[in-house]
Chains A and B, each alone.
Chain A
């Protein structure tokens, strides 16, 4: 699990939240880091409770409020980075980086009412900007290979496929250069 591969070069700079934009449905959407307030937490629970089960990926988000809360408690922990897309006081989408050894695992969810409006792109860029500012070096994710919309979004962002041998594609992105040394010239090709 620790031999994941990442692009050699660090990605360009992503905008650190808070940021605001108008989506393709003319809604004002604000991207903000999750600050730990109870109101934000409950709004997240509400979004996931209303989440279309057909948009689940590899078992998340879980179904049912109790399991949603357990899952959120784990991924909203202090060592994780979380960013929320707000439309007024409603959560339109949520993206998260969860630590995994020397890297972070990424996931992003946009509520079905807010999909296909450009929010996912802003949200993931906001999350990566937040992670970049906090010094995160490496990010990986898995995506079901039939999920073309997601795969093309990740590619557009700069993710490169690191493992295509399973049901799911694994992709990696380097956010910041290695801190320890620059001699990361291992077995390329």
Chain B
């Protein structure tokens, strides 16, 4: 694929010479190497860059921490990487309102540190420490705490985005309760930079839990894992996270309990009682907890293909069966990590590329039929050409195409990376 040669002159006038550089191998997206990396410092500069790119017919890939550039399908073209790293401030934090406003290029970990000082947090714990806020939104990434606090779409209360034609538009605001106008915060969540570039986001905050404990049960079977998760979910324990660990000898369901000190003990007791029927239960000490999580989950690299399977909660066991069974039958090694209570399973598959592809296709066919999905997260380039990252689009593909058409008619942003070839 030919990357267009870009005339840097126009861009220099927008962002300044020092904020443009030539792209290197490291900047490649699924094997496609862009010409330039451009780093605007404001929404206005971002707008000008995009206008420029559009007028020149160039393809732009927005980037935060670069942790998820491998997600989605390989792009049809990538000429400019638009990096948000200079736009990294915390604009405003009002602890009394439990609201924070940040620039999208700020690292989530950095924002959290700022909030911790006031005993607050954005209730998101995705695994990549270098991920930026904008990237987390665009990829709709999440972590174990989603069980209690839900995901990006439920925590974002306002956004400012820049569209491919340079329009700067905001929606929402800085109040938690707000139904004025359409909710772009939600629309842009998971849109992988194909509708616009997120430059600012406002979040509602939660108080930092005062005290935490993790109780884990060793489960011998898929059913035990599902049963343990189910028991805890349908009880009065109200855990913060329920995680599945299934990797070689390690077969656990761990339950994170957070509350005020008086509440945590009661939760721990109840959790022990609920989990006992499913295996040996113990409360983890700090070392064991660090060893366990919150990461790592399979994230690709070294030929491993990272896949995310999503199913209704009552189908955790069968989901595990589907992917592990398919893997075994084809001599593919699989390790699992998942959000047991919401039946989202991350599988790391290693082995022959062709076999892995078959495993993914088979699992996908079954899961989609049941109303779930299988999405390829990270994989070597060669794999990406064999298997579609997303799977079938469903009956809303026409509507999605219409949406893309309205927001980015010229196809400037991340063309080809999204579902249905969008």
Q: Do A and B bind each other?
A: no
Using CB atoms and an 8 Å cutoff, list the residues of chain A in contact with chain B.
Answer: none
